[in-house]
């Protein structure tokens, strides 16, 4: 059976453009604001939503995402509440794929079998679990695939051709290519390097490749989208959200608008990329 993720990437391939994959932390800064942000994403231009599962020791995250997780946990966010958010989102949106992204520990504590049943029932489409290598596929990856969820793996510039087949084995939905070097400030991403990295991965798989590479605005999104099947934006959205919080760390309508406006801007860049390529 085709998953929502597979269907969405196939549709966008037919349209001749990359997907915009948006990451937000569930429960940041509080449940009500967070669910309002998530509900606003598809209309703003998000094609796939990555929803962070906050964790106390997020070793692989940058400072913005770490801070978002701290805010969410302080606001009382739990994995159970994250699944409730997905359930609530699904009442009004049946087509936009949702990927839960985070660490294995909260899932392990919740109970793997129970989590997979509850996640599927809530309307989750895929998982990215950053601290489970391919050698531990039996822990979660294989049960997730059996439950009908995509299991999306990360590749980096240090994932060489010898390691890549192991990373791609049992990966489904899409491959998430993360640049370790990243981009700061307003520097434009090196589109040639990104295209070369995507091409290298594609020599080993037919899966779409989405790239997270310091995308901050329409221009950087456009540069990445020209050479990838998807563009991932996360830290920039979280930074935009943070700027709207009041002295007590609370959000409101301005928070939702700030995130949605930035998503719309970045989406315009993603859509422009393939139009230029087609001309």
Query: CATH number of the domain that 98 lies in?
Result: 3.20.20.70
Polymer length of the chain: 279
The count of structural domains within the chain is 1
- What pLDDT, on the 0 to 100 scale, is given for residue 61? 79
Q: What is the pTM of this model?
A: 0.94
pLDDT at 75: 94
State the catalytic residues.
50, 61
Dihedral sign, Cα of residue 169, residue 201, residue 266, residue 52:
positive
DSSP 216-251: -SHHHHHHHHTT-SEEEE-HHHHHHHHHT--TTS--
SS3 category, 191? helix
Confidence of residue 180 (pLDDT cuts 50, 70, 90): low
Contact (Cβ atoms closer than 8 angstroms) between residue 72 and residue 28: yes
Structural domain boundaries, residue 234: 4-278
Inter-CA distances, 151 with 63, 144, 167, 172, 219, Å: 25, 7, 11, 5, 30
What would the mean pLDDT of 8-13 be, rounded to a whole number? 97
| Dihedral of alpha carbons 130, 196, 276, 16, sign | negative
Give 3-state DSSP helix, strand, coil % of the chain, rounded to 5. Answer: 50, 15, 40
- The dihedrals phi and psi of 89, each to the nearest 5 degrees, come to -60, -40
Task: Report which secondary-structure segment, H or E, holds 69.
Answer: helix 63-74
pLDDT in tens, 80-125: 999 999 999 999 999 999 999 999 999 999 999 999 999 999 999 9
Residue-wise pLDDT for 129-171, tens only, equals 999 999 999 999 999 999 999 999 999 888 999 999 999 999 9
Q: Which residues contact 78 (CB under 8 A, 6 or more apart)?
A: none
- Residue 214: the pLDDT is 81
What is residue 186's predicted lDDT score, i.e. its pLDDT?
38
pLDDT of residue 184: 39
């Amino acid at each position: 059976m085709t998953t929502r993720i597979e269907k969405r990437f196939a549709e966008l391939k037919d349209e001749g453009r990359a997907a915009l994959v948006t990451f937000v932390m569930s429960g940041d800064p509080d449940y009500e604001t967070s669910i309002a942000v998530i509900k606003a994403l598809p209309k703003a231009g998000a094609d796939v939503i990555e929803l962070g599962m906050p964790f106390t020791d997020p070793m692989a995250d940058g400072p913005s995402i770490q801070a978002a997780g701290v805010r969410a946990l302080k606001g009382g966010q739990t994995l159970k509440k994250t699944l409730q958010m997905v359930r609530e989102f699904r009442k009004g949106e049946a087509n936009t794929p949702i990927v839960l992204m985070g660490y294995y520990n909260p899932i392990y504590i919740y109970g793997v079998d129970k989590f997979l049943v509850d996640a599927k029932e809530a309307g989750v489409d895929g998982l990215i679990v950053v601290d489970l290598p391919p050698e531990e596929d039996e822990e979660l990856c294989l049960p997730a695939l059996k439950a009908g969820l995509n299991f999306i793996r990360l590749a980096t510039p240090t994932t060489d051709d010898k390691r890549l087949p192991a990373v791609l084995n049992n990966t489904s939905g899409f491959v998430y290519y993360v640049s370790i070097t990243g981009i700061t400030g307003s520097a434009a991403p090196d589109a040639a390097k990104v295209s070369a990295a995507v091409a290298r991965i594609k020599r080993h798989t037919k899966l779409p490749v989405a790239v997270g590479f310091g995308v901050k605005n329409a221009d950087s999104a456009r540069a990445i989208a020209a050479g990838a099947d998807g563009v991932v934006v996360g830290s920039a959205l979280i930074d935009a959200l943070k700027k709207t919080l009041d002295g007590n760390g609370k959000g409101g309508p301005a928070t939702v608008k700030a995130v949605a406006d930035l998503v719309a801007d970045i989406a315009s860049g993603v859509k422009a990329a393939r139009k230029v390529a087609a001309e």
